[in-house]
Amino acid sequence: MTHTATTPAASKKVDGYSVGQTLTVTCEAPAHGGAFVARTEQGVIFVRHGIVGEQAEVRITAIGPKRRFYFADVISVPVPSLARRAHPWIQADALATEEERAAATGVPELLGGMEYGHINLDEQRRYKTDIVRTQINRLGGLPLESPLLTNLMVEELPLRDNNEGLSWRSRVRYNVTKVRAHNSEEQNGGKKSPAVTWRVGMHPYRASQPVPVVDFPLAATELRNLQLEQLNLRGVREVEATVSSRGRVLLQFIVDPRFSVEEVAKDIEQQASDAWGLLAKRKISLFFTPQATSNGKPKRRRPGSSHTPYRRVPEGDQLLGAGLRSVTEEVTFGSRRFSYQVSAGGFWQIHRAAPSTMVGTMLTMLRPQEGECTLDLYAGAGLFTAALADAVGATGTVVSIEGSPVTHKDARSNFAPDGCSRTENSADTRIEVIRGDVARHLVDLKTALEFGEIPAIDAVVLDPSREGANRTTLERLDALDPKRILYVACDPASLGRDTGILRELGWDMVQLRAFDMYPNTHHVETVALFERAPAKPRPRRRRTK
């Protein structure tokens, strides 16, 4: 479709576009990753902030290998689509100018994180449905006419605080960036030097340096009301803000090893108390921990390196305010209720409604039965483990495998004999909690199975990180010969690729659901159930007379 370049070079025969060049295009389809596909004589352009069928002026921001494709941002829309709405966050609004963003927030840069914010929610879900279908078809080999794809619709999750797809994140991780306030200069030895503050920040799209963030509409209301952007976080590298299902707030501060944890904690506690009042009464915990290097020790300045005015202080953690370094999460499904302890820095679903939705989906699709042996791979703190153990009961077995040391520690505590995640029905269930690489431990499980140390495996929940499982993991899982596999994926491309591998290994996808767990972003959660494909009968040989 289209495509008039607005630079003089466009009238000549040129070898592709250049960065900064503007042109007019029409987006044709949503692409995996948050962009939209537009086609021109010079090649495909992946356009961010567009809408299908909408003509827009875009600026080229990057060039793909051998100029086979390009990346661009929308900068203006002469006639907006009916699906376009006012973006709820000016820092991620591509149609706002740098001057407008700077006037509203003091930060001119365009941030990522809400790349679908300009699209109404119904249209967002239609785009996500199309993307899931495309990835399962192209990478997984499932035909587009399959009822699993034709009947698929991305399902909406309930939002407690509003219906605009905002305030759903119970966990937000911020970087911290230095801000030089040039309008507030101080005298320093006869020379003027700008004052420096340290503010919570996020990264612009494809940028390595964070910029300050002013509010974040996706964060839960309890976190937004804290106005973390007002704190001067001198000495802090990262902040992870958490609000639990019970309403308790846990703020984890990762402290630069050049600074004293005790001094940083004292300063921020004073600011927090001034802003929020009595922290214990507000149920707000402040947890300070030094940033760890790869060997778990603070970095030390090498001899001969440039001088730093900050001391390297190997200190321990500081816990202030309400005094909790973990939160209690409660999940309900029907009459079932499960409790979990999740430490600061541990993994948990970030959408407030996601844990209950995912547990209910797992139970209805996988249908674990009394006495079965089940695996929970990439188990985290045990979201699915608790529900599996409750379903298989005292005569059943659950094996949980998780690689993260923090989250594994939570799981061990949650499923100890007196752990909070055990229910009346799972009090005597055999629950094995294992830490380590999933692929490696599947080999150990194969050996245990051969020696009769565990019963035959009936059902598996597979919930890997965004990159998905790999071929080795799936082949080793297949060797255990389970009866059914439930694959939970937050990236449809990873699910598509692994669907193709499972089909090669003799598995059929028999159910598929998708959920809008990340409104106003391009991300989507998918859940697929696989069962052994029936053996194909061999053709009979004709006898020759």
How confident is the model over 319-362, as pLDDT tens digits?
Answer: 999 999 999 999 999 889 999 999 999 999 999 999 999 999 99
Q: What is the DSSP string of 5-41?
A: BSSGGGGS--SS--TT-EEEEE--EE-TTSEEEEEET
Q: Say how far apart CA 188 and CA 535 lie, in whole Å.
A: 81
Q: Which residues are annotated as a binding site for S-adenosyl-L-methionine?
A: 349, 378, 402, 463
Residues 6+ apart with CB under 8 A from 234: 197, 198, 259, 264, 267
Residue list, annotated binding site: 349, 378, 402, 463
511 close to 365: Cβ distance less than 8 angstroms: yes
334 by DSSP, 3-state: which? coil
Q: Do domains 19-113 and 168-178+196-291+315-347 have the same CATH topology?
A: yes
**pLDDT at residue 113, as a whole number:** 84
> Could you tell me whether strands 373-377 and 507-516 are parallel, antiparallel, or unpaired per DSSP bridges?
unpaired
By annotation, the residues acting in catalysis are 490
Rounded CA-CA distance 311/208 in Å is 26
Residue 220 CA to its chain's centroid (Å)? 15
Q: What is the DSSP letter of 435?
A: E
Phi, psi at residue 263, to the nearest 5°?
-70, -40
Residues in Cβ contact with 419 at an 8 Å cutoff, skipping those fewer than 6 apart: 413
Residue appearing with tokens 């005292």: 394
State which H helix or E strand residue 179 sits in.
strand 171-188
Fold of 19-113: OB fold (Dihydrolipoamide Acetyltransferase, E2P) (2.40.50)
Contact 535, 507 (CB under 8 A): no
Alpha-carbon span 382 to 388, nearest angstrom: 10
Residue with token string 């699906």: 83
- CA-CA distance, 298 to 252, in Å (whole number)? 18
User: 156: left (phi > 0), else alpha (psi -120 to 50), else beta?
Assistant: beta
- CATH number for 168-178+196-291+315-347: choose from 3.40.50.300, 3.30.390.50, 2.40.50.1070, 3.40.50.740: 2.40.50.1070
Angstrom distances, CA of residue 408 to CA of 276, 499, 545: 33, 28, 67
**pLDDT < 70: residue spans in the chain:** 1-14, 161-162, 182-194, 293-315, 535-545
Instruction: Supply the DSSP string of 195-256, one letter for each residue.
Output: EEEEEEEEPBTT-SS-EE----TTB-HHHHTT-GGGS--TTEEEEEEEE-TTS-EEEEEEE-
For residues 373 and 139, give the distance between their C-alpha atoms in angstroms, rounded to a whole number: 31
Measure the CA angle with vertex 354, ends 350 and 359; round to 5°: 130
| CA 123 – CA 140 distance, rounded (Å) | 25
Domain ranges of the chain: 19-113, 168-178+196-291+315-347, 348-530
Question: CB of 282 within 8 A of CB of 229?
Answer: no
Q: What is the pTM of this model?
A: 0.89
Q: How far apart are CA 154 and CA 133, in angstroms?
A: 10
- Report the pLDDT value the prediction gives residue 543, as an integer from 0 to 100: 64
DSSP letter for each residue of 444-478: HHHHHHHTTSSPPP-EEEE---TT---HHHHHHHH
> Domain 348-530, what fold?
Rossmann fold (3.40.50)
**Tokens matching residue 474:** 């799936």
Residues 142 and 150: beta-carbon distance below 8 Å: no
Q: How high is the pLDDT of residue 308?
A: 39
Cβ-based neighbours of 432, under 8 Å, separated by 6 or more: 397, 398, 399, 400, 454
